[in-house]
Amino acid sequence: MQNNSIVELKGISKAFGGIPVLRDVDFTAKIGLIHGLVGGNGAGKSTLMKILAGVHQPDQGEIRIKGERVRLKNPAEAHDKGIYLVPQEPLLFPYLTVEENILLTTKKREQKAYKEKILLLMDTLKCEFSLDQLGADLTLAKQQLVELLRGLVRESEVIILDEPTSALTAREVTALFENLRRMVAEKKTAIIYITHRLQELFEITDELTILKNGQVVLQEKTCFCTLEQILQIMVPKVDDEGSDSANICPLPDEAALPHSKEVLESPVLEVNSMWGKGFRDVSLVLNRGEILGLTGVVGAGRTEFAEALFGITKRSSGIVKLDGRQIEIREPREAILQGIVYLPEDRHLHGGFLEAGIPENITSPILFRLFKVFLQSRKEMELAAQFVEKLRIQASSLHQKFKYLSGGNQQKVVLSKCLAAEPKVMILDEPTRGIDANARKEIYANIRELADCGIGVLLISSDFEEITLLCHRVLIMYRERIVAELIPPHITLENITFASFGYTKGVGAQ
């Protein structure tokens, strides 16, 4: 082990479904230092750390712990080597107590000593919960602190923190930072700190690695960097070799991009000061025939807002108007009846019925219209055939099961399902995720056609290039609220990137 390096990752590459996520990444963590790891959506940060934590196996490359080459087959082996990942989403057992959750997998004879350490750490971190409280009774912020306690109490030599402050109060963040500084000052621990809150890098980290398109683009001491330099490095470039943006096909007529056409101010959907779990004080206006982008980094609150608007989750307050009339949406069926449809982020989990055929999937939201006493099968087949032709869905037959369609054709079926409800407003959440370039081009054309037909489209996407290519206006969320609105000619990759990380100077901040 040289220069107090405890972890060395060499030439790490990883792909999922043939799509590269990491490309020949080198990374080093040192005892006594806090190492910041940052990057935009899909940069590969979490994948790299899950490889170090034994969750994923690299396709290529090697891992060295204290100079020894190792293979970490699972998280238990990583724990044995002193590596602990505190996940962004807590994984507590809801009906076990805090103490039971923390001491899970520890030996019984060691638990008394561990308990004393837990109480000391809870006092240091100013934890406002007791050891006998159930996991289900804790707020998300308190659950994150319990996850952190799991790693700290085991005196892990490498602790990976994935967005540790996303649900913490300012007081809890201060206490966390104080404890992290104390740990590294004792020269016993290396901390890897993943965050989208770039200002935190200058408060807590000593060194910095920036990932972009699965590759390392900067490794430097934090004190030699500025916030604007970091953001500028992270701005996507269309001509980056191997970048995701390079795989995006342009629309058929680049001279007539949607945001080059004027959209009349004719509100179809108005949301005023909506609050709910994962988002705060969101207001927006969507016009007929408009493609309104809603973007930001993962965890900003975009999907949470969309699900509350569609009635999947409950909102705590806020007013929704459709065609100028105030409406109440308590469940998805009410939204569909009112004329609002939602294409979810995960088409496999929430978008389609895997074992059902194309007609059953397309007509699923409007079955009540196809029943008299029995299902009108002929109407169902005719409707499905119309959408197969209109959206050019490639299938061996109408009865081909959803799970056997390609990713692009699955997405077209889900889009058809939304269109079958004859909507006024379509909420599209990551509509091109996981599909190839040709299918993406067709989906883009479909989205344009929706707007041309007068449908208001709310396009939620983590792909900043996609947002710049399709949208008339763009709203950017950061830390659960809208922080900026962009209109042409200010809809640029640079402006979107800066605002998505909370830097709104000069980009039309609200």
**Strand, coil or helix: what is 31?**
coil
| Mean of pLDDT values over 451-480 | 92
Question: What are the pLDDT digits (tens) for 416-426?
Answer: 777 777 789 99
Task: State the pLDDT at residue 509.
Answer: 46
Structure tokens at 136: 């289900």
| Mean of pLDDT values over 366-375 | 56
Task: State the pLDDT at residue 415.
Answer: 77
d(C-alpha 84, C-alpha 154), whole Å: 9
Q: Give residue 412's pLDDT band: very low, low, confident or very high (50, 70, 90).
A: confident
Task: State the pLDDT at residue 165.
Answer: 81
123 pLDDT higher than 90:
no
Question: What are the pLDDT digits (tens) for 271-311?
Answer: 999 999 889 999 999 999 999 999 998 778 999 999 999 99
Q: Give residue 242's pLDDT band: very low, low, confident or very high (50, 70, 90).
A: very low
Least confident residue range of 24-38, 130-144, 169-183: 169-183
CA distances from 310 to 100, 330, 342 (A): 38, 8, 7
367 pLDDT higher than 70:
no
Q: Which helix (H) or strand (E) holds 276?
A: strand 267-276
| Mean of pLDDT values over 480-495 | 92
Structure tokens at 213: 């398109």
Task: State the pLDDT at residue 370.
Answer: 57
Q: Give residue 449's pLDDT band: very low, low, confident or very high (50, 70, 90).
A: confident
Task: State the pLDDT at residue 243.
Answer: 41
d(C-alpha 297, C-alpha 462), whole Å: 7
d(C-alpha 236, C-alpha 321), whole Å: 36
371 pLDDT higher than 70:
no
H/E/C letters for each residue in 291-360? Answer: EEEEECCCCCCHHHHHHHHHCCCCEEEEEEEECCEEECCCCHHHHHHHCEEEECCCHHHHHCCCCCCHHH
Task: State the pLDDT at residue 124.
Answer: 78
d(C-alpha 455, C-alpha 476), whole Å: 21
Percent of the chain with pLDDT over 70: 87
237 pLDDT higher than 80:
no
Task: State the pLDDT at residue 350.
Answer: 61
> Which range in 100-114, 236-250, 326-340 is most confidently predicted, on average pLDDT?
326-340
250 pLDDT higher than 50:
no
Q: Give residue 246's pLDDT band: very low, low, confident or very high (50, 70, 90).
A: very low
> Which range in 19-33, 162-176, 346-360, 417-431 is most confidently predicted, on average pLDDT?
19-33
d(C-alpha 239, C-alpha 314), whole Å: 42
State the CB neighbour count (10 A cutoff) for residue 444.
Answer: 21
357 pLDDT higher than 60:
yes
Task: State the pLDDT at residue 248.
Answer: 41
Task: State the pLDDT at residue 425.
Answer: 94
Residues 6 or more apart in contact with residue 383 via CB below 8 angstroms: 359, 362, 363, 420
| Mean of pLDDT values over 218-234 | 92
CA distances from 39 to 36, 44, 233, 298, 350 (A): 10, 8, 9, 11, 28
Task: State the pLDDT at residue 160.
Answer: 92
Least confident residue range of 240-249, 308-317, 341-350, 495-504: 240-249
Calculate the average pLDDT of the chain: 83
Question: What are the pLDDT digits (tens) for 3-19?
Answer: 678 999 999 999 987 77
| Mean of pLDDT values over 241-252 | 42
Largest pairwise CA distance in the chain: 77
d(C-alpha 306, C-alpha 474), whole Å: 15
Percent of the chain with pLDDT over 90: 41
Task: State the pLDDT at residue 395.
Answer: 80
Q: Give residue 244's pLDDT band: very low, low, confident or very high (50, 70, 90).
A: very low
265 pLDDT higher than 80:
yes
Q: What is the pTM of this model?
A: 0.73
Q: Which domains does the chain have, with CATH numbers?
A: 5-234 (3.40.50.300), 266-500 (3.40.50.300)
119 vs 386, more confident: 119
